[in-house]
Amino acid sequence: MSLFISTAHAAGEAAQQPSLVTNLLMIAVFVAIFYFLIWRPQAKRAKEHRTLVESLGVGSEVVFAGGLMGKILKIEGDFAVVELSRGVEVKIQRASVISVLPEGTLNNL
């Protein structure tokens, strides 16, 4: 038994505990990395998407998340009625729009 106790005691003396300042500094560095690499870019993309959705209007040619393209016929709150082709209309959530196409793009396809 004395063999195990002395080994543990020797290991405890050799290992040094980092100071409180070092621990706080490492936490601050991790928070800064998290903020600049993850949170800030995601917030910027969310703001750009919110601006895009708010700027939608009747006649806008859009692409939604599923890859379909169409022209907005009317806007009803959080939804929009989109014409995919002549006579084919669907109601979508405005938040599912991922980009607005330049005018006349659908006619050239």
Q: Is 107 left (phi over 0), alpha (psi -120 to 50) or beta?
A: alpha
Q: Which residues of the chain have pLDDT under 50?
A: none
Q: Answer yes or no: CATH 1.10.10 is held by domain 57-108.
A: no
User: What confidence score (pLDDT) does residue 11 get?
Assistant: 54
> Which pTM does this prediction carry?
0.70
User: What confidence score (pLDDT) does residue 65 get?
Assistant: 92
Task: Provide DSSP, 11-70.
Answer: HHHH--PPPHHHHHHHHHHHHHHHIIIIIHHHHHHHHHHHHHHHT--TT-EEEETTS-EE
Joined together, the tokens standing for residue 75 give: 């806007």
User: What confidence score (pLDDT) does residue 73 get?
Assistant: 96
- Asked whether 96 and 67 are in contact (CB, 8 A), the reply is no
User: What confidence score (pLDDT) does residue 10 get?
Assistant: 53
